[in-house]
């Protein structure tokens, strides 16, 4: 099992030295990957119809993941860089293909592209994308991404995309892994049909319960569940009495990846300084790091 760390975007601040130090500390301790969330815009929740139900507002800080990972590509040597997850349907597909290909080249093939559909319709509207058909468009986006990464010239005519004999250059040299994330049955079904893996972002028992459902869906697609990637997010906030037990549970279930999430959960108190996030990397690793392969 590979053990990663989730970039604490909400609480670490914007000092580039601190951000670099956090990434380098994770790599030096032995973490296998760094996972970062994605939101381009935050929105005021008050007086919305329909209501915005997600956890983030206009006060929530996010660093753009492709730019952030470009920085990490130069600051690190080994760790895999994982979007967990990029809100794919609110972004132009060909541009994502180009950004991902360039990043994968610059980091030496260390990118894993996690994708999802998101919840913030205000963000979609502001980016001039359709929130209502985001799931169907995402399915076609996966096909387009893989076409653009594989062929120097693509001629594609789909429901949502038209590429008239054009391509990106340089090509990434491989099919960048595409993992899905989410919480709904349709997210599990899409992942089983189209994805290389799935990133579980919820709470421990809910995730473990959903794993059996997902593996059944993968098998129904005629795919081998043992070759389908699984990652779970484990919460630092659950406390030292639970850290090892939670990680061991996923290893026992055959998950290939887990990541430590140091940011505060909704309604809980977070860490008070960026240095605490760096210190937490070591504290959690000392408790569970020997479970890593």
State the residue range of the domain holding 95. 2-291
Q: State residue 272's pLDDT score.
A: 80
Q: State residue 266's pLDDT score.
A: 67
Residue 98: strand, helix, or coil: helix
Q: What is the DSSP string of 23-73?
A: HHHHHHHT--EEEE---S-----TT-SSPP-SS--TT-----HHHHHHHHH
CATH number at residue 40: 3.20.20.30
Output the pTM of the full model: 0.96
The count of domains in the chain is 1
17 Cβ partners below 8 Å, 6+ apart?
A: none
Q: Alpha-carbon distance 225 to 218, whole Å? A: 6
Q: Alpha-carbon distance 140 to 89, whole Å? A: 10
Q: Alpha-carbon distance 82 to 84, whole Å? A: 6
- Which run of H or E residues covers position 162? strand 162-166
Measured from the Cβ of residue 262, the count of other Cβ atoms closer than 10 Å reads 25
Residue 218: strand, helix, or coil: helix
Q: Alpha-carbon distance 216 to 202, whole Å? A: 19
119 Cβ partners below 8 Å, 6+ apart?
A: 52, 53, 54
Q: Alpha-carbon distance 24 to 38, whole Å? A: 21
Ordered mean pLDDT values, 10 residues apiece, the chain (293 residues): 97 96 98 98 97 94 97 98 98 98 98 97 98 98 98 98 98 97 95 98 89 97 97 95 96 97 76 92 97 94
Report, in this order, helix, strand and coil percent for the chain, each rounded to 5. 45, 20, 40
Q: Alpha-carbon distance 147 to 176, whole Å? A: 11
**53 exposure class (CB count in 10 Å sphere: 0-12, 13-18, 19+):** exposed
Q: Tally the C-alpha atoms within 13 A of residue 52's C-alpha that lie toward its C-beta.
A: 20
Q: State residue 210's pLDDT score.
A: 94
- Whether 134 and 89 have beta carbons less than 8 Å apart is answered as yes
- Whether 124 and 90 have beta carbons less than 8 Å apart is answered as yes
Residue 161: strand, helix, or coil: coil
**By C-alpha distance, which of 75, 12, 7 is closest to 38?**
7
Q: State residue 202's pLDDT score.
A: 84
**By C-alpha distance, which of 258, 267, 264, 256 is closest to 280?**
264
Q: State residue 42's pLDDT score.
A: 97
Q: State residue 267's pLDDT score.
A: 54
């Amino acid at each position: 099992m590979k053990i990663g760390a989730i970039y604490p975007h909400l609480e670490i601040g914007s000092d580039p030295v601190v951000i670099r130090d956090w990434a380098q500390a994770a790599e030096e301790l032995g973490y296998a990957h760094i996972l970062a969330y994605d939101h381009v815009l935050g929105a005021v929740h008050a007086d919305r119809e329909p209501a915005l139900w997600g956890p983030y507002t206009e006060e929530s800080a996010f660093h753009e993941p492709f730019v952030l990972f470009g920085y990490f590509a130069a600051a690190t040597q080994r760790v895999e860089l994982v979007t967990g997850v990029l809100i794919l349907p609110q972004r132009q597909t060909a541009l994502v293909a180009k950004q991902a290909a360039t990043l994968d080249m610059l980091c030496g093939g260390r990118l894993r592209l996690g994708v999802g559909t998101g919840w913030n319709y205000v963000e979609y509207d502001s980016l001039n994308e359709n929130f209502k058909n985001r799931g169907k468009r995402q399915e076609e986006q996966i096909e387009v991404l893989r076409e653009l990464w594989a062929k120097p010239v693509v001629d594609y005519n789909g429901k949502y995309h038209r590429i008239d004999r054009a391509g990106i250059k340089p090509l990434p040299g491989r099919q960048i892994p595409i993992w899905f994330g989410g919480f709904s049955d349709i997210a599990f079904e899409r992942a089983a049909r189209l994805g290389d893996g799935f990133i579980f972002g919820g709470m421990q028992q809910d995730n473990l319960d959903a794993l059996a459902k997902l593996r059944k869906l993968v098998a129904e697609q005629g795919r081998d569940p043992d070759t389908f990637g699984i990652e779970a997010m484990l919460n630092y906030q659950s406390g030292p009495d639970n850290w090892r037990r939670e990680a061991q549970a996923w290893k026992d279930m055959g998950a290939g990846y887990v990541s430590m999430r140091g940011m505060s959960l909704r309604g809980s108190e977070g860490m008070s300084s960026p240095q605490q996030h760096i210190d937490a990397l070591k504290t959690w690793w000392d408790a569970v790091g020997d479970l890593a392969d």
